[in-house]
Amino acid sequence: MRTLKVALLGCGVVGTEVARIMTTHAADLAARIGAPVELAGVAVRRANRPRPGIPEQLLTTDATELVKRDDIDVVIEVIGGIEPARSLILTAFDHGASVVSANKALLAADGAALHGAALKAGVDLYYEAAVAAAIPLVRPLRESLAGDKVNRVLGIVNGTTNFILDKMDSTGAGYSEALEEATALGYAEADPTADVEGFDAAAKAAILAGIAFHTRVTAADVFREGITEVTAADIASAKAMGCVVKLLAICERSADGRSVTARVHPAMIPLTHPLASVRGAYNAVFVEADAAGQLMFYGPGAGGSPTASAVLGDLVAVCRNKLAGSTGPGESAYAQLTVSPMDDVVTRYHVSLDVADKAGVLAQVATVFAEHGVSIDTVRQQGREGDASLVVVTHRATDAALSATVAELRSLDNVRDVASIMRVEGE
């Protein structure tokens, strides 16, 4: 039986680990696939850098020529970003190669076009590693739950932000201190913007929502709010409520089933919720479906080895399809549900106000909430030298109603500041 040849695009932390596993586990991979699999070329930016374990003759700086080779069966793309990754993937499809990718940003931005090109070429596009590294999510949603109706996907899908928030919760550290420690330990990049501002999680949310609800969802459809404004006071308020703060990716089907929402933002969740116990740089995703009920997927969501594990799992599946002359499941967007804006989302809120410590202030604040149809669940007030801290926790309300409430509160003479607003999830 012929040897299946693989081109690897990118040889950073993940690419190096993919190459290592392909070499050291070659016999096992061949047994599982049903044919030998060979690393036929590795595209890198600089070929003169030492790369232990990778034969020098496999290295090339011409990625385009590598994916154009007629003998390449599968292309593994782990370079990230939009370009040149998109052009290289499309070129690989044009030349009959299936693609395994870990590129969440590209898939969230242009997944529909990539799926269409793969379908036209009669090849596979697999991307388990794009969402949560070694944690199996894409395949369970796309295949295992294909006969079920998924209603909600709620998860922690970024290890960097989870580490930072966990450190703030467990040590009382401020955001800057926790970020500094995450950087020193290698959990945060030198430029952590994609993580701490929620871009990484938003891309993953778009991918998960698209698969779960059979609807095209892009990163632009996802409401995004990062963790840079989360303070030690917010963490303390959460503790007082028996909650913990997490950056959540939340994808939901509306009650009438006609629309979906996708959002990423910090939220307080009760300590009794399974996601509350997810510590450090770990990820976890909670899935709710009609027949299957509640499912939770947990594990390391980043890193060279975990991500390479997901890449190799896809490689085995794609190679098996090649041998069988078939392809796996592609895009499923038949439902074409409307993606609703954040204004329509209904949730609970924790609002912290700095107010004048005067009689009647609480009644004035409560009236503003009532005028906008936002029902109050609990209120906690603490006075301090002429001013007071007022914490209001609402019942469920739309984001639009809460925004209008806050806008009017800011105009009141007795409200010094709206110190923080945070959503409350997982009730």
Annotated catalytic residue: which of 167, 204, 246, 322?
204
Q: How far is CA 188 from CA 158, 196, 302, in A?
A: 10, 9, 11
**What is the rounded CA–CA span in Å between residue 418 and residue 177?**
24
Q: Whose structure tokens read 């500094």?
A: 180
Task: Return the pLDDT at 384.
Answer: 65
**What is the rounded CA–CA span in Å between residue 268 and residue 214?**
29
Task: Return the pLDDT at 192.
Answer: 95
Q: Does pTM top 0.85 for this prediction?
A: yes
**What is the rounded CA–CA span in Å between residue 170 and residue 357?**
32
Q: How far is CA 207 from CA 23, 111, 141, 339, 378, in A?
A: 31, 8, 11, 13, 36
CA dihedral of residues 159, 164, 169, 172 (deg, nearest 10): 160
**What is the rounded CA–CA span in Å between residue 271 and residue 393?**
17
Pairing of strands 282-289, 293-300: antiparallel
pLDDT digit of tens for each residue in the chain (427 aa)? 789 999 999 999 999 999 999 999 999 999 999 999 999 999 999 888 888 889 999 999 999 999 999 999 999 999 999 999 999 999 999 999 999 999 999 999 999 999 999 999 999 999 999 998 889 999 999 999 999 999 999 999 999 999 999 999 999 999 999 999 999 988 888 899 999 999 999 999 999 999 999 999 999 999 999 999 999 999 999 999 999 999 999 999 999 999 999 999 999 999 999 999 999 999 999 999 999 999 999 998 888 899 999 999 999 999 999 999 999 999 999 999 999 999 999 999 999 999 998 888 999 999 999 999 999 999 988 766 678 889 999 999 999 999 999 999 999 999 999 999 999 998 6
Task: Return the pLDDT at 359.
Answer: 86
**What is the rounded CA–CA span in Å between residue 139 and residue 21?**
21
Question: Can you name the residues that pair with 154 across neighbouring β-strands?
Answer: 250, 286
**What is the rounded CA–CA span in Å between residue 277 and residue 298?**
11
Task: Return the pLDDT at 427.
Answer: 67
**What is the rounded CA–CA span in Å between residue 423 and residue 349?**
4
Q: Which residues contact 164 (CB under 8 A, 6 or more apart)?
A: 175, 178, 179, 182, 188, 196, 227
What are the pLDDT digits (tens) for 96-119? 999 999 999 999 999 999 999 999
CA dihedral of residues 119, 61, 36, 301 (deg, nearest 10): -70
Q: Is the dihedral of CA 203, 304, 48, 38 positive or negative?
A: negative
Query: CB–CB of 122/266 below 8 Å?
Result: no
| Amino acid making up residue 271 | L
Q: Decide if 204 is catalytic.
A: yes
